[in-house]
């Protein structure tokens, strides 16, 4: 009997120990990484800590738009989204890509402003995917931001649509986004871009500020690897800040692998750099898509608004443009900048107060001194 009591006592102690271990694992286990690695979707900001995430399903009839939202440029991304949402009656689904530290700010910016009615999903981009592929360059550090390379990895994002529009965060959409989405991609083409030689109205602007419109301005033709490509240096380049992508064709042609190959080649041979015209994200796109892309309507990518602090387009021309792009150093949330009024009308102040305009106290009228000729 004494032996039996001793055995029962041991079994009881083991049972208590097991229960304690189970309770400890439930109470003190770390947070799940699944939500962080995949997505955060719309939820009530008032009760976010208390209720599960509301799932927003992507519909087949939605117009899917991919846009990056860096914390230091958050107001730009939200102005882009606002302009798209306000100028169409189509159902638009926004895939908003950001880094882990900016997920909360992105959600607050949407849910605490007029944008709370949009359909969206926040996607986290892991910058480790770029390890060993990007060379540090101090001439334009902003061009090395991890989100600048999201466009290379579209098929790896948690996207359910077969075709998407990719937009930089320094654009304003004045037309109906569904017209851009329905661009007819030619057979075998994974994307559609606007060529840099497509719009006569922009030629004077290009000449006035010395911009590059050919491959010569983006690739180092002194390097044998570049010459071996067989690309004529006078061929027209394109800007990859606005494009329509066929995800299936992108996967089929292994576009991401091709882009990564040229990123790694640049690490070894320095065939391009951020000191050249297109920074470090444009040249790989130019190489991989050379003679293999559909050309979009040029009015759907009127660019170069950020190349000069004082060279301007005519107001009549800009009113007829479907999309405006402030590519270049002079951003509309910065100062100085031209055609600020066309961006300012879509800007939504950050409800958290983190994103501030450097020229936020300037009115549109006070910018008139910038006008030339």
Q: Give the pLDDT confidence of 304-358 residue by residue, as tens digits.
A: 898 888 888 889 999 999 999 999 889 999 989 999 999 999 999 999 999 999 8
Q: Would you say the C-alpha torsion 225, 231, 233, 238 has a positive or negative sign?
A: negative
What number does CATH give the domain 63-200+239-263+293-345? 3.90.550.10
**pLDDT level of residue 3 (50, 70, 90 thresholds):** low
pTM of the model: 0.81
Cα(299)–Cα(320) distance, integer angstroms: 8
- Residue boundaries of the structural domains of the chain: 63-200+239-263+293-345
Residue 304: what pLDDT? 87
Tokens 């060993």 -> residue = 132
Structure-token pair, residue 214:
């050919």
147 vs 7, more confident? 147
Q: Is the pLDDT of residue 364 over 90?
A: no
Cα(51)–Cα(44) distance, integer angstroms: 8
Q: Give CA 79 to chain center in angstroms.
A: 13
Q: Is the pLDDT of residue 264 over 60?
A: yes
Q: What is the DSSP pairing of strand 163-167 with strand 238-246?
A: antiparallel
Radius of gyration of the chain (CA): 25
Q: Is the pLDDT of residue 205 over 70?
A: no
- What count of other Cβ atoms lies within 10 Å of the Cβ of residue 217? 17
14 vs 22, more confident? 14
DSSP state letters, 296-308: PPGGG-B--TTS-
DSSP state letters, 204-216: HHHHHHT---BGG
Q: Is the pLDDT of residue 272 over 90?
A: no
Q: Reduced to 3 states, what is the DSSP secondary structure of residue 70?
A: coil
Q: Output DSSP code: residue 244.
A: E
* Least confident piece of the model among 32-36, 142-146, 209-213: 32-36
Residue 241: what pLDDT? 96
Contact criterion met (CB below 8 Å) for 177 and 326: no
Q: Reduced to 3 states, what is the DSSP secondary structure of residue 316?
A: helix
Q: Output DSSP code: residue 140.
A: -
Q: Where are the alpha helices (DSSP H) in 127-271?
A: 177-181, 200-209, 224-227, 247-252, 255-269
Residue 361: what pLDDT? 44
- What count of other Cβ atoms lies within 10 Å of the Cβ of residue 346? 20
Give Cβ neighbours of residue 189 (< 8 Å, ≥ 6 apart): 246, 249, 292, 293, 294
């Amino acid at each position: 009997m004494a032996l039996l009591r001793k055995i029962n006592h041991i079994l009881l102690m083991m049972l208590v120990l097991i229960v304690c271990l189970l309770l400890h694992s439930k109470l003190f286990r770390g947070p799940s990484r699944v939500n962080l690695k995949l997505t955060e979707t719309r939820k009530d900001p008032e009760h976010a800590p208390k209720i599960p995430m509301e799932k927003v399903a992507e519909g087949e009839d939605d117009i899917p738009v991919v846009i990056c939202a860096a914390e230091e440029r958050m107001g730009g991304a939200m102005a882009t989204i606002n302009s798209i949402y306000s100028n169409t009656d189509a159902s638009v689904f926004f895939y908003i890509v950001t880094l882990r530290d900016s997920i909360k700010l992105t959600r607050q910016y949407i849910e605490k402003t007029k944008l709370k009615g949009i359909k969206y999903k926040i996607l986290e981009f892991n910058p480790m995917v770029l390890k060993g592929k990007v060379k540090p360059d101090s001439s334009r550090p902003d061009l090395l931001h991890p989100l600048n390379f999201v466009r290379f990895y579209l098929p790896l994002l948690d996207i359910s649509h077969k075709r998407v529009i990719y937009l930089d965060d320094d654009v304003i959409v004045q037309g109906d986004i569904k017209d851009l989405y329905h661009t007819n991609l030619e057979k075998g083409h994974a994307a559609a871009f606007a060529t840099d030689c497509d719009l006569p109205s922009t030629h004077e602007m290009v000449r006035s500020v010395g911009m590059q419109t050919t491959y010569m301005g983006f690739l180092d033709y002194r390097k044998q690897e570049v010459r071996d490509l067989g690309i004529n240096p006078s061929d027209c380049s394109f800007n990859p800040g606005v494009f329509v992508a066929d995800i299936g064709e992108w996967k089929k042609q292994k576009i991401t692998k091709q882009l990564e190959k040229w990123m790694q080649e640049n690490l070894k041979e320095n065939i391009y750099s951020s000191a050249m015209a297109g920074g470090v994200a444009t040249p790989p796109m130019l190489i991989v898509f050379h003679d293999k892309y559909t050309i979009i309507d040029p009015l759907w990518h009127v660019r170069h608004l950020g190349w000069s602090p004082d060279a301007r387009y005519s107001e009549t021309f800009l009113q007829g443009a479907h999309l405006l792009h402030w590519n270049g150093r002079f951003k509309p949330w910065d100062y100085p900048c031209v055609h600020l009024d066309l961006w300012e009308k879509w800007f939504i102040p950050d409800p958290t107060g983190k994103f501030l305009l450097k020229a936020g106290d300037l009115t549109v009228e006070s910018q008139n001194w910038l006008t030339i000729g």
